Amino acid sequence: MRYGLDFGTSNSAIALFEDDRVKVLPVDPGQGRPEIMNTLVYIRRDGEILVGRAASEAYYRDNVGREAVKQKVTTDQTFKSYFASTGEIVEQLVIEVDINQPGRFFQAIKSFLPEDGYGGTEVWGKFMTLEELVSLYLREIKRRADEQLGQEIDGVVLGRPVFFSPDGSGDELAEGRLRRAAELAGFREIHFQYEPVAAALHYEQELAGPEEYVLVFDFGGGTLDTTVVRVGKDSWKQGDRRDDILATNGRVIGGNTLDEEIMEHKLFKYFGEGVRWSEQRLQLPHYIFAMLKRWYTIPNLQQQQIYDFLDDISRVSTGRKQVKALETLIRKNYGYSLFQEIERAKVALSKDWETRITFIHENIAISEYFGRPAFEKIIAGHLRRIETCVDETLVAAGLEPGQVGAVLRTGGSSYIPAVQKMLERKFGGAALRFQDAFSNVASGLGVAAAHGTWNH
């Protein structure tokens, strides 16, 4: 027996094909949908490791409203400097660390797999490779699945995107790292299948008609993959399906990208975007707003010189309230919870015409009307990139839109109404198949695991 495991940027799921049916296992109890587990890892200073919903809840409890206390620490790492007068000098690297930090929080770790320049990080005095970090999550999801089944299963078919990186240059590195992480997690037999192909496998089980072409539109938290696959009534029982993949394409764009756009276009104004200070009417430095676009880069601004700078300009600026809100956001670790509210508002617009982004903590007072038209305007450039990606995939497959029998959507971002409208306009409403966008890849990987349908 083997698991099918969809290790996603934002969410993950694990499935098993048994008794002629596939079951996605409920490995994160307490969630609204316990079979979907957030891809999060939180390592506390005392060594406790939490994943999924428990990780986000612990991080929130431990950090929100907590002020960072930075201290310079000399590390074991060294670097070389050269001076004409003294020659080469070897110095130890000195960094600033938050000595009160209760835990390390890791989100979207899948997105780092193809990055050659990121090998890992130090966690409480021990360097952990990226593979080791990923294995913490995979080991726990495997343990929970094994516990439910009452037996240990050490075989797995892991999903992987068509492209881990924009040009595919990091694909071999990324797959190798994911394989190593699975080995560290306790898997012994490890195979891979493209995530879009897995979605097609799920669809084929219910296919009653003749052979047809489907477009798998996989739009998740970190990446977009578009794949044209030839499917047939009994094809899901076959082995290697590479010959049935007519074309693949992708973009490094996902739900996280759209969250960043909302932050920039709707909320920067609350944190000093329009503030002017001094007689020269200077603006706040651009690097500050570059850090604000992602919640996990905001702590990089927790530096005393930045606090001093903000304190100085708040006295001579046109927006004292906004500068104080900015300082509070940085100093008190509100970035993660603010982006959770952004995510909630974005999801709400998939079913509602309007909502509000509301975030009121200390000096931060946000109550921003947010309607679907405004959201679609903000993401218009990305929507064009998405449609271009689809068009390129069809051209590569040698197909016209009318020759596509079904469009299979997967990934939470595929629920965005503007994305659905684009697909309906191009392929017709009847072509869209409304499978479970969160679990159909895991279901397909479960089918692949049972019938040997993986990449060779």
| Other C-beta atoms lying within 10 Å of the C-beta of residue 211 | 13
Fill in the DSSP letter of residue 309: H
Buried b (16+ CB within 10 A) or exposed e, 421-453: ebbeebbeeebbeebbbbbbbbbbbbbbbbeeb
What's residue 78's pLDDT? 60
Please check whether residue 57 is in contact with residue 47, taking contact to mean a CB–CB distance below 8 angstroms: no
Where do the structural domains in the chain lie, given as residue ranges?
A: 2-191, 209-253+383-435, 256-378
Specify which of 14-18, 64-68, 387-391 reaches the highest per-range mean pLDDT. Answer: 387-391
User: pLDDT tens across 194-233, in order?
Assistant: 888 888 887 877 776 678 899 999 898 888 889 999 888 7
Band (277; pLDDT cuts 50, 70, 90): confident
Mean pLDDT computed over every residue of the chain: 88
Please check whether residue 103 is in contact with residue 41, taking contact to mean a CB–CB distance below 8 angstroms: no
Q: Is the pTM of this model over 0.85?
A: no
What's residue 454's pLDDT? 80
Tokens of 63: 């950090």
Beta strands across the sheet bearing 40-44: 49-51, 40-44, 103-107
Q: Is the predicted pLDDT of residue 436 greater than 80, yes or no?
A: no
Q: Is 26 left (phi over 0), alpha (psi -120 to 50) or beta?
A: beta
Share of the chain above pLDDT 70, in %: 91
Q: Determine the CATH number of domain 2-191.
A: 3.30.420.40
User: pLDDT tens across 125-139, in order?
Assistant: 889 999 999 999 999
Least confident of 14-23, 173-182, 323-332, 347-356: 14-23
The yes-or-no answer to whether 2-191 and 209-253+383-435 have a common fold is yes
Q: Which CATH superfamily is domain 209-253+383-435 in?
A: ATPase, nucleotide binding domain (3.30.420.40)
